[in-house]
Structure 1
Amino acid sequence: MNRLKQLFEEKKGNILSIYYTAGYPNLNSTLDIAEALEKAGADFLEIGVPYSDPLADGPVIQKSSQTAIDNGMTVKLLFEQLKDLRKRVSIPVLLMGYVNPVLQYGVENFCASCAEVGVDGVIVPDLPMYEYEEMYKDCFEGHKLSNIFLITPTTSEARIRKIDELSNGFIYLLSTSSTTGKNLSVSNEIEDYFARIKGMNLKNPTMIGFGISDNKSFSKASEYANGAIVGSAFVKLMGEENYLEKIPAFISSMKGKEAMTV
């Protein structure tokens, strides 16, 4: 059982995942941020692989991605940085990126590098489901990597059932069909969507993302899923001075607790 599956076995609710961009704000900050997030109480991490055309991301993450590229971050360099990942971090870690850099690196090489450094799963929003199933599933599973699929309020039940069959980690529920960075506004329509997915009794755990920015939105999402993913709100924090020192208070505020000491 990989770390991701073990987490969902041991903790059923209020799971907090944090997304941040590799190589931002500084080229060599990736592992320092990961270590600080684990110490502060994050349950698992999603490290973004910077890409020049991040279609699903809003302006905050787009800007961080461009800054990381300007800093010199590449897929190859990221894997070099992650060689010491498991000496410093024990919680599950996923890589989130777009299919083009993965294909350029080579899917087999990418999966092998993930396994070598201790990455537990991958989120590739623009990888078509049929391509994954026909061409890459054996490679991912052979390296014990969970491939995380995304669903939106417009995803059909048939497709959701298919995704549930193909998944072996969790399913990522987008709170909206738009880009990242919008604050979660839980309208009746969105609440109906969350309730509909919860009522499907999927075999895989679910995590809600896009618009989770504070304890209120995190708590609301956790009513309908196993937890939630925070991205833009945390990436904004990474742009501030003394950002590492502010991580414990940020995580505690998301969870609605007093700041943990590190």
Structure 2
Amino acid sequence: MDNNISADNIHRPNTKKLNIYFTAGVPNLGDTAEILKLIQNSGADFIEIGMPYSDPVADGPVIQKAHERSLANGMTMAKLFAQLKLVKDEIKIPLVLMGYINPVLSFGFEKFCSECRDSGISGLIIPDLPPVEYEKSYRQILAAYGLNFIFLVTPETSDERIRYLDSLSSGFLYAVSSSSTTGNDNKEVKNGDYLNRLSALSLKNPVFIGFGIKDRTDFESVTEKAAGGIIGTAFVKILLENKDWQQKAGDFIRSIKN
């Protein structure tokens, strides 16, 4: 099973990595396993699973709606881990959990990390966990359970802080294309200045670009200077708005990667 996040996996020749995000529990509570297999079989390289939360402040209206529907469907952290365990041996690409710190702390941080390890999770993205708190209280626990932790940077982040967050991250560095919420149509996706600056810093982690990537053109544009691209809102929108989402979702991923 080759589902660990590593530089070797990310930097394989002639490949640009596609990371697909979806919110667990959407469109229906029991769809998680099917969506994971669909994303993998359609050619994506990573899967980012959103943990539903009642106040997803960094997300735009589409993913906010997905969080609301997931919670209304009855998704919980315990149910998500149970679903992941059912298919962990079938999923051969890295799985990353993304969400907010409050539900993780409510679940119990070390218990959460243990469940991640037992569910086939390779890494975590928790944007509202401050780096200082991460270093002080959580870094050693994550290491003990073999979990990567990925920090986010924006165009407004200074070079010094980018290097600092890169030094703390493992797996990859998540470069948000703008300081706006997810799903916004922002010019920075196609603006090479930000990507050029990141490239010039010679960071230790591969860089993945997220926020505002909607199609193959966007993906190819950002991966000229980055190791990969992350697509969330455009994919989640398919899950929310189409009864026949299986075909449309698979076709969408294939249109990006193939």
Verify the 8 A CA contact 1:169 1:204 in the aligned structure 2. Answer: yes
More displaced stretch, 158-167 vs 89-98: 158-167
CA distance in 1, matches of 2:28, 2:9: 30
In structure 2, relative to structure 1, the CA distance for the partners of 1:187 and 1:55 (3 Å cut) is closer
In structure 2, how many angstroms separate the alpha carbons of the residues matched to 1:224 and 1:57? Answer: 25
- 2:35 maps to which residue? 33
Match of 1:235 in 2: 236
TM-score w.r.t. the length of structure 2 is 0.95
Q: How far off is 1:246 after superposition?
A: 1.9
Distance in 1 of aligned mates of 2:195 and 2:216: 18
Structure 2 distance, partners of 1:187, 1:66, is 27
Kindly indicate whether the alpha-carbon contact (under 8 Å) linking 2:124 and 2:148 is maintained by their aligned counterparts in 1. Answer: yes
2:28 is aligned with 1:15: no
Q: For this pair of structures, how many residues does the alignment match?
A: 255
Superposed CA offset, 1:107-135 (max 9, x none): 10111100011100000010000000110
Counterpart CA distance in 2 for 1:99 and 1:160 is 21
Q: 1:73 aligns with which of 72, 75, 80?
A: 75
What's the C-alpha RMSD, in Å, of the aligned pairs? Answer: 1.5
- Rounded to whole Å, the distance in 2 between the matches of 1:245 and 1:2 is 25
> Which aligned runs of 4 or more in structure 1 are off by greater than 4 angstroms?
none
Distance in 2, Cα, partners of 1:74 & 1:187:
33
AA aligned to 2:142 is F
Unaligned stretches of 5+ in structure 1? 258-262
The aligned residue for residue 139 of structure 1 is 141
The answer for unaligned runs of 5 or more in structure 2 is: none
Task: Between 96-105 and 158-167, report the one with greater CA deviation.
Answer: 158-167
2:87 to 70, 85, 88: 85
CA contact (8 A) 2:189 2:218 kept: no
Structure 2 CA distance for aligned equivalents of residues 11 and 231 of structure 1? 25
Alignment match of 1:166 (pick from 165, 168, 177): 168
Report deviation, 1:9. Answer: 4.2
What SS class does the counterpart of residue 47 from structure 1 fall into? strand
Cα drift, residue 187 of structure 1:
7.6
Counterparts of 1:97-246 in structure 2, within 5 Å, are 97-186=99-188, 190-239=191-240, 240-246=242-248
CA distance in 2, matches of 1:77, 1:252: 29
Is contact 2:189-2:213 (8 Å) kept? no
Identity of aligned residues (%): 46
Deviates more, 1:162-171 or 1:229-238: 162-171
* Contact 2:24-2:50 at 8 Å conserved across structures: yes
Q: Distance in 2 between matches of 1:11 and 1:26?
A: 37
Name the CA distance, whole Å, in 1 between partners of 2:55 and 2:192: 31
In structure 2, distance between residues paired with 1:232 and 1:115: 27
Distance in 2 (alpha carbons) for counterparts of 1:235 and 1:39: 17
**Which residue is equivalent to 1:48?**
50
CA positional deviation for 1:245: 1.9
Is 226-235 or 7-16 further displaced after alignment? 7-16
Distance 1:3 1:17, change over 3 A: same
Task: Name the CA distance, whole Å, in 1 between partners of 2:87 and 2:228.
Answer: 24
Instruction: Pick closer, same or farther for the CA change 1:186–1:167 going to 2, 3 Å.
Output: closer
Preserved contact between residue 2 and residue 144 of structure 1 (Cα < 8 Å): no
